[in-house]
Structure 1
Amino acid sequence: MNNYEAVLIFKADMADSDRTDLLERFKQIIGQDGEVTNVDDWGKRKLAYEINYLKEGYYYIVDFTANPDHIKEFERRLRLSDFIIRYMVIRKED
């Protein structure tokens, strides 16, 4: 299993409960074949440039361990979500 870090940017106009539920769903997806080690809530921040006419986003940094095969499925589910503006998953060096 490898260590990964995911940066998730949610739409800023989401309700807090909806955003929390969606984050929990993504944590469960990771938990199917890995383990979430840390979630860092950066809060609402201004985007560097507009994305689909949005100027703000809600940032989460998620540290987790998973098998490399599971990352493709995780990224596929992130792409399918209408509430994720951008995401980036990187492998951390040990």
Structure 2
Amino acid sequence: MRRYEIMYILRPNLEEEAKKATAEKAKSILTDNGAEIEKVDDMGKRRLAYEINDFRDGYYSVMYVNAETEAINEFDRLMKIDDTVLRFMTIVNEQQ
């Protein structure tokens, strides 16, 4: 298993329930594929560096995960087709 850091940005016009549902979906995608979630940081609503789909703000969240490559690939595949997600990025975190 490798350690990953995943950041995703949600649309700013989402209801609170939709934000929670998307966060739970992201966690369940990973845990259903054998990943272990160490920590989740919800950073709240922040200004984007540039407009994405006519949005100037977004809800940021960061997850620290131990996972196999297959779990990360499935997460990437499903987040690409989720219309509540503006952007996401997965990086390998080599620091222990």
Superposition misfits of 4+ residues, deviation over 2 angstroms: none
Q: Does 1:90 align with 2:94?
A: no
Q: Does 1:37 align with 2:22?
A: no
Cα displacement (A) at 1:46: 0.5
Give runs of aligned pairs for residues 1-94 of structure 1, distance below 5 A.
1-32=1-32, 33-93=34-94, 94=96
RMSD: 0.8
Structure 2: which 5+ runs fail to align? none
Cα displacement (A) at 1:17: 1.2
Determine the C-alpha separation between the residues in 1 that align with 2:21 and 2:66: 21
Give the TM-score normalised by structure 1: 0.96
Give the TM-score normalised by structure 2: 0.94
Structure 1: which 5+ runs fail to align? none
Corresponding pairs, count: 94
Identity %: 35
